[in-house]
Amino acid sequence: MALRGDIPEGGRIAFDYTYAGELIRDIRDLTGNDFCIGGACYPEVHPDSATKDEDIDHLKLKVESGCDFLTTQMFFDNSILYNFLYRIRKKGIEIPVLAGIMPITNAKQVARTVAMSGTQLPQRFISMVDRFGHNPEAMKQAGIIYATEQIVDLISNDVNHIHVYTMNKPEIAEGILNNISELIK
């Protein structure tokens, strides 16, 4: 994955590349096709883009720089991804897109996640956190179930590439895998 990374506090970029597309271009120029290069995308809109159209134009430049696949930032409403896929395909972006699913397994993650990603939370998700957020084990289970339901819907709608942000918690991956094991045989 060729990523720009998060802007440090104070807003000053302290590295050689302003945009991930620049890094992708340099990797491609230096290595030819020896590497498969992935990049990030934002189904809702990149925080630095003024509009969805501007965001997709920048994404197209990233792809034209040599990106082989994209992984989305997390989202909690699959209709946002479906709309995003429609818009990028309409603009000629045809590389694989991995849908980024983040199981929220504790209530404290919610505010941090929204602040970092700018993602919208559907009412169904908010209700889940309100109902189970006070009980860590219940919240963990509810988060795994919510993520599983997202994945089932994605698979049912022919989304073939899914990335689960487990945050190095194997029990989360195991819970989801147990829930979908019959679907992916």
Q: What is the pLDDT of residues 123-158, one digit of tens each?
A: 999 999 999 999 999 999 999 999 999 999 999 999
pLDDT (tens digit per residue) in 91-105: 999 999 999 999 999
Domain hosting 102: range is 20-180
Measured CA to CA, the distance from residue 132 to residue 46 in angstroms comes to 30
Tell me, yes or no, whether 164 lies in a domain: yes
- Residue 35, classified by CB atoms within 10 Å of its CB into exposed (0-12), middle (13-18) or buried (19+), is middle
Residues of the chain with pLDDT under 50: none
Tell me, yes or no, whether 85 lies in a domain: yes
Tally of domains within the chain:
1
Please tell me what DSSP assigns to residue 6: P
Tell me, yes or no, whether 5 lies in a domain: no
Measured CA to CA, the distance from residue 165 to residue 103 in angstroms comes to 7
- Strand pairing report for 97-101 and 69-72: parallel
pTM for this one?
A: 0.90
Tell me, yes or no, whether 49 lies in a domain: yes
CA distances, 117 to each of 29, 72, 75, 160 (Å)? 30, 11, 9, 23
Tell me, yes or no, whether 163 lies in a domain: yes
Please tell me what DSSP assigns to residue 166: -
Tell me, yes or no, whether 101 lies in a domain: yes
Outline where DSSP puts E strands in the chain: 38-41, 69-72, 97-101, 162-164
Measured CA to CA, the distance from residue 55 to residue 130 in angstroms comes to 33
Tell me, yes or no, whether 31 lies in a domain: yes
* CATH number for the domain that contains residue 116: 3.20.20.220
User: For position 5, what pLDDT does the model report?
Assistant: 62
Secondary structure class of 83 (helix, strand, coil): helix
Tell me, yes or no, whether 146 lies in a domain: yes
